[in-house]
Amino acid sequence: MNKFLYFILIFCLAGLSCQTTLKVKNGTMAYQVKQYAVAVEMLETEFERENNDDIRFQKARMLAESHDILQNLGDALKWYDITEQLRSTETTKKNLAESLKKNERYADAAALYTELYRSTREGRYAQEAEICKAASVSQSEEENTFIELFKANTTAGDYSPVYYEEDFILFTSDRESSTGKGIYEWTGQDFSDLFVMNIHTKKVHNFDALLNTPNNEGPACFTKDYNEIFFTRCESINLGEANCRLYYSQRPNGFWMEPEPLLFFDEATNFGQPTLIENDSVLIFSASPKGSDGTYDLFYSVRLENGWSEAEIMPAPINTAGNENFPTSFKDTLYFASDFHIGYGGLDIFKTYLRPDGTWAPVQNLGYPINSGADDFGLAIKPGFTASGDVELEGYFASARNTGFGDDIFSFTIFKPEDTTDEKDEPVAEEPVKVYDIYLAGRVVGLVRENDDPNAAVTDVRNLDDAYIRMKFDGQELGLRTNPQGRFIEKLEVDKNYDIIASKVDYLNAGTVVSTIFKNGLIRDTTINIEIPLEKIIYDTEIILENIYYDFDKWDIRDDARPSLDTLSQLLDLNPQLTIQLSSHTDCRGELEFNTELSQKRAQSAVSYLSEKGIDPNRLVAKGYGETSPAIPCPCDSCTEEEHQVNRRTTFKILKDRQD
């Protein structure tokens, strides 16, 4: 079972809102209300007393998952093994293999993943087997990374370090000195607060009374001047439930002000750790919005003059079908944790960077020993750090590895590779060059819109099986199909650009570009995750083109209209079988004949623009409706300005049978 360490445990980051204190009667109920520390005690007793194998299996499964969530990795392995003995299925084998990986028994995990691959032919199992084999080799190799326990760790959970001013580290902990009273029954620990440690004296104190409350406070980030803080707080919203939200505070005169919530999404959304990039102008955070499948993705919002823009989801190379959380940043690089990108077990730390064209580079695993079989997350690098001497990089991260006390903070130093010349400045014999593999793991989904209206909001997505995938590169083309879960996987070549096109009967083709060109070369086995959404083909229905505006009494294509028309051009390129009608509508003001003529000229301008982009004119029909087909019928002298604006629109529709 995938999970998120104490951050999830303390911050209720599990698909639904978390449960607060509730009396339970048995282990199953304790598990269901997420009181995992209570559940393991009750379930073990109940398991020993039970004779029915089906019930024993269910209790063993709940024990395995509860221990997994509580970071009791050895106990989790024991119970996953028992579940596999009681009922051997693909799921029980997969869970056991993942648990073996988390316990760093990589050779055993590789053998089980290989068995799964042979029985299912699922490419992901082959990938998992390969990385487990590589991890087994890495354990015995001499590494250039030094890792040491953070001096402020306790037997409680300590995690998510960030630098605070020159001499301090801010971190989250549920140690005894936290503000909240009582025991949090989910974890069996205290409530969490923000703490700060002096790097030189190692003294630790509670961060700030206004920020820390009896609720759970957690992972935070600062602006570059340390006068703004963004952090997570979980508060009870009604009996038995709590939600985690992002909060923001300023320090205008040396004192922190009362924090205010950032109003992204709605109150049913749970939020995770934030970070800032692009000179503090972009906020990145994890969240599980209402209506999602309960997993966490990374989102971003842009700072505006009067607040923050609406949150947008980060693209597919970063987000996956699993959980992405704990984003941090250093210079142009974004670090985050994921339990779905191929890794060494549990959450692993990955990195990517924003390329000059505005796209994100393929995700790379930081590798062993930064990543281990346990959960590893929350990387922090000191702002302004510059490599010097033999030190390439240093900082802190959190991990649940068994060399600590549970979730703990570790410092790390990565040293530069050794000089490849001898004392005579002559090159020494080189070791064989390691060759790393890169895979593309994709999912094709169909977008579900309300009432099948192409202009309505997306309400759901459906996995599309047997979708055809075309991969074009260097004049070559490769074809494959998605499995029943809508997924596909393929090994890629390095230093290539791939055009990926997905198609399915009754859907519009869609595509994306995947690059395997890395700024610093490929340093680890890497998996690029993508999701390709397909729209249903809906014939003879107007689809509104956003942001198509014209100057008064003009029909020239303005610069701000080009992006929408460029997107339509790409759609037509990907779907050469389509014929469309481009339509222009005016509002009711003005003479009927004039409006009809003006709208025809505007529609023809859009058609001409697409023709100049290389679209065959025979696939395009221009139609000006003037004021005869309003989106909102209203008496002209009674229409509001907003209604007039809605009625002034440019649309297209896919023609089933062309009628000029």
Please report which confidence band the pLDDT of residue 240 belongs to, taking 50, 70 and 90 as the band edges. very low
Q: List the domain range (segments joined by +) for residue 123.
A: 5-140
User: Residue 495 above 90 pLDDT?
Assistant: no
Split at pLDDT 50, 70, 90, the class of 608 is very high
pLDDT at 227 over 90: yes
Question: Nearest-5° angle of CA 342, CA 344, CA 348?
Answer: 75
Q: What angle do CA 323, 328, 333 make, to 5 degrees?
A: 105
Mean local confidence (pLDDT), 305-330: 89
Res. 362: pLDDT tops 50: yes
Give residue 58's identity as a one-letter amino acid code. Q
Domain match, 356 and 499 both: no
* Domain co-membership, 494 together with 370: no
Using 50, 70 and 90 to split pLDDT, how confident is the model at 225? very high
Supply 463's token pair: 């996995």
pLDDT of residue 405: 62
Given a cut of 50, whether residue 5 has pLDDT beyond it is no
pLDDT of res. 12: 40
Quickly state the pLDDT bin for 127 (edges 50, 70, 90): confident
pLDDT digits (tens, 9 = 90+) for 381-411: 988 888 887 888 899 999 988 766 668 889 8
Task: Examine the domain organization and report whether 136 and 167 are in the same domain.
Answer: no
The neighbouring-strand residues paired with 238 are 241
In 3D, which of 24, 36, 78, 365 has the Cα closest to residue 188? 36
Predicted confidence at residue 239, as pLDDT, reads 40
Task: Write down how long the chain is.
Answer: 660
What integer pLDDT is reported at residue 14 of this predicted model? 31
> What is the C-alpha to C-alpha distance for residues 473 and 500, in angstroms, rounded to an integer?
9
pTM equals: 0.64
C-alpha dist (Å) from residue 634 to 585, 613, 637, 641: 15, 37, 8, 12
Q: How many CB atoms lie within 10 A of CB 600?
A: 18
* Strand intervals (E) in 117-269: 145-149, 158-164, 168-173, 193-198, 204-206, 216-222, 228-238, 241-250, 260-261
- Could you tell me which residue, 136 or 208, shows the higher pLDDT? 208
Beta strands in 120-181 (DSSP E): 145-149, 158-164, 168-173
Place of tokens 């410092």: 411
Burial readout 392-404 (b: 16 or more C-beta within 10 A, e: otherwise): ebbbbbbbbbeeb
Q: Do 129 and 159 belong to one domain?
A: no
Kindly report, residue by residue over 618-635, the tens digit of the pLDDT.
Answer: 999 999 988 888 888 999
- Lowest-confidence segment of 184-198, 223-237, 244-258 by average pLDDT: 184-198
Give residue 142's pLDDT band: very low, low, confident or very high (50, 70, 90).
Answer: low
Q: Which amino acid is at 57?
A: F
Query: How many independent structural domains does the chain possess?
Result: 4
- Residue 314 domain-assigned? yes
In a domain, 581, yes or no: yes
Given this model, what pLDDT does residue 446 score?
92
Identify the weakest region by mean pLDDT among 143-147, 472-476, 592-596: 143-147
360: which DSSP letter?
B
- 18-46 pLDDT, tens per residue? 444 567 789 999 998 888 989 999 999 99
Residue 419 counted as domain residue? no
pLDDT at 575 over 90: yes
pLDDT, residue 536, reads 93
Q: Are residues 625 and 500 in the same domain?
A: no
268, pLDDT greater than 50 = yes
H or E segment and range at residue 609:
helix 592-612
pLDDT (0 to 100) of residue 125: 86
Residue 435 has a pLDDT of 57
Using alpha carbons, select from 192, 211, 196 the residue that is nearest to residue 165. Answer: 196
User: Is residue 548 within 8 Å of residue 657, measured between CB atoms?
Assistant: no
In this predicted structure, what is the pLDDT of residue 530? 85
As a whole number of angstroms, the distance between CA 506 and CA 538 comes to 9
Q: Taking 50 as the threshold, does the pLDDT of residue 17 lie above it?
A: no
Tokens of 647: 């009625």
Residue 199 in domain: yes
Q: DSSP letter for 65, please.
A: H
- Collapsing DSSP states into helix, strand and coil, what is residue 418? coil
SS3 label, residue 508: coil
Same-domain pairing of 221 and 347: yes
Structure confidence at residue 44 (pLDDT): 94
**Residue 62 backbone phi and psi in degrees, to 5:** -65, -35
Task: Select from 438, 415, 327 the least CA-distant residue to 147.
Answer: 415
What amino acid occupies position 481? Answer: R
632: CB partners within 8 A, 6+ apart: 639, 643, 646, 647
Higher pLDDT, 332 or 427: 332
How far is residue 433 from each of residues 139, 430, 492, 603, measured CA to CA in Å?
Answer: 18, 8, 19, 59
CA atoms within 13 A on the CB side of 127: 23
Q: How far apart are CA 106 and CA 443, in angstroms?
A: 27
Cα separation, 494 vs 434, in Å, equals 13
Backbone angles phi, psi at 588, to 5 degrees: -85, -5
Q: What is the pLDDT of residue 406?
A: 66
The answer, yes or no, to whether residue 164 has pLDDT greater than 90, is: yes
Contact 285, 246 (CB under 8 A): yes
Of 509, 534, 559, the domain-final residue: 534
520 shares a domain with 578: no
**Structural domain ending residue among the three candidates 350, 385, 420:** 385
Nearby residues of 234 by Cβ (< 8 Å), 6 or more positions away? 10, 11, 12, 18, 215, 216, 218, 242, 243, 244, 245
Last residue of a domain, one of 110, 140, 170: 140
pLDDT at 500 over 90: yes
Average pLDDT taken over every residue of the chain? 84
Q: What is the DSSP string of 14-59?
A: SSSPEE-S---SSHHHHHHTT-HHHHHHHHHHHHHH---HHHHHHH
Strand pairing category for 526-534 and 438-449: parallel
Q: What is the CATH number of the domain that holds 521?
A: 2.60.40.10
Which helix (H) or strand (E) is 603 found in, with range?
Answer: helix 592-612
Pairwise pLDDT comparison (462 vs 139), residue with the higher score: 462
In a domain, 394, yes or no: no
Query: In this predicted structure, what is the pLDDT of residue 169?
Result: 93
For the record, the structure tokens of 91 come out as 């799921």
Q: What distance in Å separates the CA atoms of residue 620 and residue 623, rounded to the nearest whole number?
A: 10
Same domain? For 550 and 639 the reply is yes
328 with 180, same domain: the answer is: yes
Q: How many helices (H) and strands (E) does the chain have?
A: 11, 34
CATH assignment of the domain containing 74 = 1.25.40.10
The DSSP code for 339 is: S
In angstroms, the CA 347 to CA 401 distance is: 11
Which pLDDT belongs to residue 141? 62
> Within this chain, do residues 21 and 165 fall inside the same structural domain, yes or no?
no
pLDDT-based confidence at 612, cuts 50/70/90? very high
Residue 580 bridge partners (DSSP): 620, 654
Alpha helices in 191-348 (DSSP H): none
pLDDT at residue 331, as a whole number:
86
pLDDT band at 220 (very low <50, low <70, confident <90, very high): very high
> Alpha-carbon distance 576 to 559, whole Å?
26
302, 340: one domain: yes
**Nearest 5 degrees, angle CA 614-CA 617-CA 621?**
130
Percent of the residues in the chain that have a pLDDT greater than 70, as a whole number: 87
pLDDT reported for residue 429: 53
* Residue 116 domain-assigned (yes or no): yes
- What is the pLDDT confidence band of residue 163, given thresholds at 50, 70 and 90? very high
pLDDT, position 231: 94
* 423 within domain boundaries: no
Rounded to an integer, the average pLDDT of 575-593 is 90
**Cα–Cα distance between 310 and 303 in angstroms, integer?**
10
The reply to whether 482 and 593 lie within a common domain is no
Q: Which residues contact 429 (CB under 8 A, 6 or more apart)?
A: none
CATH number at residue 283: 2.120.10.30
The least confident of 87-96, 205-214, 266-275, 413-422 is 413-422
Percent of the chain at pLDDT above 90?
37
Is 535's pLDDT higher than 80?
yes
Banded model confidence at residue 247, pLDDT cuts 50, 70, 90: very high
What is the average per-residue pLDDT within 74-90?
95
